[in-house]
């Protein structure tokens, strides 16, 4: 099948019309370990018991293994900075305040494919949102959408690190590929200093930021399925995820608000602290909170 050459500017216009906050396009050449640091992250055991992170390593580095003949990776950002923060004894990471971003971004990716097909009926792409083994942050970096901050997250100049990432991997070449941005963290170490468990580190030689999940409150509140959490892990009031390293970032403080947390929704989130299992399941059905069981939710509050 013919793979049409894409107009970079037209794709970005279509992405904005669908509702994405930023779009960049990178050539689908494999990632190198020197720019990635993935092998060292695994070798150091920083993935904790997330054994699935050891799988599909080749696919994570090479989009052509996800889609034969891949030429381009179209990377999309959707900001989630809320208009205000929830309060109460069971805090939730801000990305989980609203609709499950997996569902929303996947829906938007299919809308973008349809929009591009209006100009190029033969256009085909594989949509990716977290559940597909692709290195989101590295492709966003390649696509000129930001840099990897010391908190190990993608930092976009406008959205800060308050953004979710999706991709379209396609066999279509683009008429222009974006250039990666230089790292703008400078000498700022606010995120490193703010982490209550000292989970932020870096590779030995290239100093690529790495997150040690064994020390990360977000890992323990979501991925750790044990009945009890390690006593030395400080959750800082979070029952789902953790935003400690993000709250202090200068780029996040000036980032544009992208989600209105209404008084009603804020009250619902805060009421979850006392929710029974049925109410918890019902409320979290279309939320990122559905990643955990009610028993974990209670455990996290008791830790």
> Is 130 among the residues known to form the active site?
yes
> How would you write 209-243 as a 3-class SS string?
EEECHHHCHHHHHHCCCCCCCCCCCCCCCEEECCC
User: What is the Cα–Cα distance from 99 to 95, expressed in whole angstroms?
Assistant: 9
Tell me how far CA of residue 138 lies from CA of 20, 118, 209, 223, in angstroms. Answer: 19, 29, 12, 22
Strand extents, DSSP E, 110-161: 125-128, 147-148, 154-155
CA distance 200 to 144: 24
| 3-class DSSP assignment, residue 264 | helix
For residue 156, give the nearest of 76, 50, 274 by alpha carbon: 76
Gap between the Cα atoms of 263 and 261, Å rounded: 7
Cα separation of 226 and 296, whole Å? 8
- Given 130, 136, 193, 276, the catalytic residue: 130
Could you give the CA distance from residue 145 to residue 135 in angstroms, rounded to a whole number? 14
Active site residues: 130
């Amino acid at each position: 099948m013919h793979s049409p050459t894409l107009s970079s500017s037209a794709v970005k216009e279509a992405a904005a019309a669908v509702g994405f906050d930023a779009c960049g396009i990178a050539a689908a050449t494999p990632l190198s370990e020197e720019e990635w640091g993935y092998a060292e992250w695994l070798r150091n055991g920083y993935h904790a018991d997330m054994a699935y992170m050891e799988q599909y390593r080749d696919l994570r580095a090479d989009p052509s293994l996800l889609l034969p003949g891949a030429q381009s990776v179209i990377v999309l950002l959707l900001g989630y900075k809320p208009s205000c923060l929830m309060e109460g004894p069971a805090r939730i990471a801000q990305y989980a305040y609203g609709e499950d971003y997996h569902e929303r971004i996947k829906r938007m990716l299919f809308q973008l494919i349809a929009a591009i097909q209006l100009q190029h009926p033969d256009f085909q792409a594989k949509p990716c949102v977290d559940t597909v083994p692709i290195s989101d942050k590295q492709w966003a970096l390649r696509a000129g959408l930001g840099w990897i901050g010391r908190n190990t997250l993608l930092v976009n100049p406008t959205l800060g690190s308050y953004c979710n990432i999706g991709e379209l991997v396609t066999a279509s070449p683009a008429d222009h590929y974006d250039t990666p941005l230089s790292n703008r963290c400078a000498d700022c170490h606010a995120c490193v200093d703010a982490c209550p468990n000292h989970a932020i580190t870096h590779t030995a030689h290239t100093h690529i930021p790495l997150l040690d999940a064994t020390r990360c409150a977000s890992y323990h509140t979501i991925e750790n399925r044990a009945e009890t959490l390690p006593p030395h892990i400080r959750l800082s009031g979070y029952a789902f995820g953790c935003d400690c390293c993000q709250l202090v970032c200068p780029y996040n403080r000036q980032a544009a608000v992208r989600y209105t947390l209404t008084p009603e929704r804020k009250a619902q989130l805060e009421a979850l602290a006392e929710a029974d299992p049925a109410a918890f399941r019902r409320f979290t059905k279309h939320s990122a909170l559905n990643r955990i069981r009610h028993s974990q939710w209670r455990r996290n509050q008791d830790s």
